[in-house]
Amino acid sequence: MRLMRTPKKVDISITNRCNLRCRYCYHFESAGDVEGDLPAAEWFRFFEELNRCAVTEVTLAGGEPFIREDLKEIVHGIVRNRMRFQILSNGTLITDEMASFLASSGRCNYVQVSIDGSMPESHDVMRGKGSFAKALQGLMILRRHRVHVAVRVTIHRKNVNDLESVARLLLEDIGLSSFGTNSAGAMGMCRKNAEMVQLTTEERTLAMETLLTLSKKYNGRIQATAGPLAEARGWLDMEEARLWGKQLAPVRGCLSGCGCYWQDLAVRADGAVTPCTMLSHIELGRINRDDLVEIWQNHADLGSLRGRNRIPLSSFSFCEGCEYLQYCTGNCPGLSYTLVGEVNHPSPDACLRKFLAEGGRLPERSLLC
Amino acid sequence: MKQKNPIANPLIVLREEFDDWAILFDPDTGNAFGLNPTGVFIWKHLDGKHDTDAIVGRLREEADDVPADAAEHARQFIASLEQQGLVGYEVQT
Ligand code: SF4
Ligand code: SF4
């Protein structure tokens, strides 16, 4: 793979504060959970560097970005520096005034709002009482102001049986064109609350089947890059490739599961530059102190991450004798680091052999749309 | 009224990714346009100080095998950039 001269996108944790404490939050109690937000002036200086680097977009995440009192100034800084932006939010702090401001900026790609249930019970159980109503209200305010909204449904033990109603609410009643799903990964707070939050093998099987069925019913309007739906699609492809000796793209049989550090960088709320929000423990430098291009092109840790895709899965005892070896990518290095303490290792959470050995079942291939 | 030399819209981002190829990114629309190395060369000279002939002249100085009809191609290229709002002209009244 060839390296671009500068990153295309930078994911910025603009604040470490949040008005909620979701039971599966990947941010709190992870390496990204750092004290103290940087003042806006620091971000303005950094945005100027991003402009010089021709970075075209930033993602504002947190914590909860809308908790920052100076969010509008920060958005002005992004606009001044010729970039577009998206905001990842829990949706509960969005006001009419803010939505109108975002629309008028002309640069907002979307605001991602988390809606995890079709009713308060299945959402609030993880995110806190009253958060469903507020998130839904935030979503409707954004839509009223014609700000593009991307809804994300995080699947967990308490909403896995509510998915059909969630799809009906979002796609039929509210009329979204699509929504995305993932599942509570074994990071941050989720590790502490794993018992309550993380799907069992049986529930994961159910979630895969339900989501494929719903995705077919709604003509592909349910999307995923991680979680049960993405796994169902990926694992069915692996199984088919194994049965029929097919080739899969991109490179398989090596740790090729993630390529975000070929395109993007991340910055923690304290200004530390990291390869990705899932790899917040790897500090590559500091904004406004270290040169971003130098980090991007020459930092040894980034170089070694980019070399992961040359490490064969056959070199891990974990994968010994696996029938899927030449069809597997080893998946997310961030999850692998959290689970086994190593970035250069396949992620056990995304291991098809382990899932099947624990009694998991793949859905029917005919459910794919 | 006399039209002056073409000027790149300062809002447009020139993003040089690999080798001498690049994209032009319009942050207001989110649209991106691919540029080949010659396009990049021309874009970098759309500074209001060069007219099309001068830009092609510079191109001939820097590159081999510039075709005879390069000036016409450059004019068309700049016109297409103008149509998309990526290039403008200072106007003298
Ligand atoms: S998941 Fe998001 S909304 Fe929930 S506590 Fe974490 S940062 Fe806040
Ligand atoms: S053991 Fe798991 S991670 Fe390793 S190749 Fe097999 S399916 Fe992939």
Write down the pLDDT at residue A105. 98
The predicted structure's pLDDT at residue B63: 86
pLDDT on residue A263:
96
Q: B78 CA distance to ligand 2 centroid (A)?
A: 53
Evaluate whether A159 touches A166 at the Cβ level (below 8 Å).
yes
- Confirm if A188 and A27 have CB atoms less than 8 A apart: yes
pLDDT at residue A251 in the model: 85
Strand partners, A12: A60, A267
Give the phi and the psi of residue A124 in degrees, each rounded to 5: -65, -25
What is the rounded distance in angstroms from the CA atom of residue B85 to the CA atom of residue B62?
Answer: 28
CB contact at 8 A, B25 and B32: yes
* Closest CA of chain A from B77, distance in Å: 22
Which of A24, A26, A28 to mutate to test ligand 1, by most ligand atoms within 8 A of the CB atom?
A28
Q: Would you mind telling me the total number of residues written for chain B in this entry?
A: 93
Q: Which pLDDT value is given to residue A295? A: 98
∠ at Cα A242 (A241, A247), nearest 5°?
40
Distances (CA, A) of A338 to A30, A192, A329, A346, A353: 9, 12, 18, 11, 20
Distance from the Cα of A234 to chain B's closest Cα (Å) equals 30
| Domain range for B62 | 3-92
Strand partners, A87: A60, A111
**Amino acid present at A355:** F
> For residue A195, with 0-12 CB atoms within 10 Å meaning exposed, 13-18 middle and 19 or more buried, which class applies?
exposed
Element (H, E) at A11: strand A9-13
Out of A4, A8, A82, the one facing B27 most closely (by C-beta) is A82
Output the pLDDT for position B3: 65
Pocket-testing residue among A237, A313, A320, A354, ligand 2, by greatest number of atoms within 8 A of Cβ? A313
Q: Residues with Cβ < 8 Å from A357, sequence gap 6 or more?
A: none
pLDDT at residue number A258: 86
Q: How many domains does chain B have?
A: 1
- pLDDT reported for residue A15: 98
In this structure, the residues whose C-beta lies within 6 A of any atom of ligand 2 are A 313, 318-319, 322, 324-325, 328, 330, 346, 351-354
CATH code for position B31: 3.90.930.60
Q: State residue A369's pLDDT score.
A: 82
Q: Long-range contacts made by residues A156-159, C-beta under 8 angstroms, separation at least 24? A: A156/A24, A156/A116, A156/A126, A156/A183, A156/A184, A156/A197, A156/A198, A156/A199, A157/A196, A157/A197, A157/A198, A157/A199, A157/A200, A157/A203, A158/A117, A158/A121, A158/A122, A158/A125, A158/A126, A158/A196, A159/A116, A159/A117, A159/A122, A159/A123
The whole-model pTM stands at 0.95
Which residue matches tokens 């395109």? A263
10-residue mean pLDDT series, chain A (369 residues): 95 97 92 94 98 98 97 98 98 98 98 98 96 98 98 97 98 98 88 92 98 98 97 97 90 92 97 97 98 98 96 98 96 94 96 98 94
Which region holds residue A331: left if phi is over 0, alpha if psi is between -120 and 50, else beta? left
**Which is nearest to A57 in space by CA: B59, B26, B22?**
B26
Q: Please provide residue A357's backbone torsions phi and psi, each rounded to the nearest 5 degrees.
A: -65, -30
Q: Please determine, for residue B1, whether its predicted confidence score (pLDDT) is greater than 60.
A: no
Query: What pLDDT sits at residue A266?
Result: 98
pLDDT in tens, A64-94: 999 999 999 999 999 999 999 999 999 999 9
List of chain B residues whose C-beta atoms are within 8 Å of the C-beta of residue A4:
17-18
Give the strands of the sheet with A179-183, arranged side by side. A222-223, A179-183, A149-155, A108-114, A84-89, A57-61, A9-13, A264-267, A272-274, A285-286
Please report where in the chains the tokens 């040894």 appear, as a residue. A300
CA end-to-end span of chain A: 30
A138-160: string of b/e by CB count within 10 Å (b at 16+)?
A: bbbbbbebebebbbbbbbbbbbb
CA dist A161 and A112 (Å) reads 23
Which residue of A1, A5, A79 is the best one to mutate when testing the B interface, meaning the one whose CB has the most B CBs within 10 A?
A5
Do A306 and A1 contact (CB within 8 A), yes or no?
Answer: yes
Q: What was the pLDDT predicted at A233?
A: 97
pLDDT at A188: 87
Closest listed ligand to the CA of A15: 1
Check if B20 contacts A (Cβ < 8 Å): no
Is B34 within 8 Å of chain A by CB?
A: no
pLDDT band at B20 (very low <50, low <70, confident <90, very high): confident
Atom of ligand 2 lying closest to residue A354 CA = 2
The pLDDT of residue A187 is: 84
Asked if pLDDT for residue B90 goes beyond 90, the answer is no
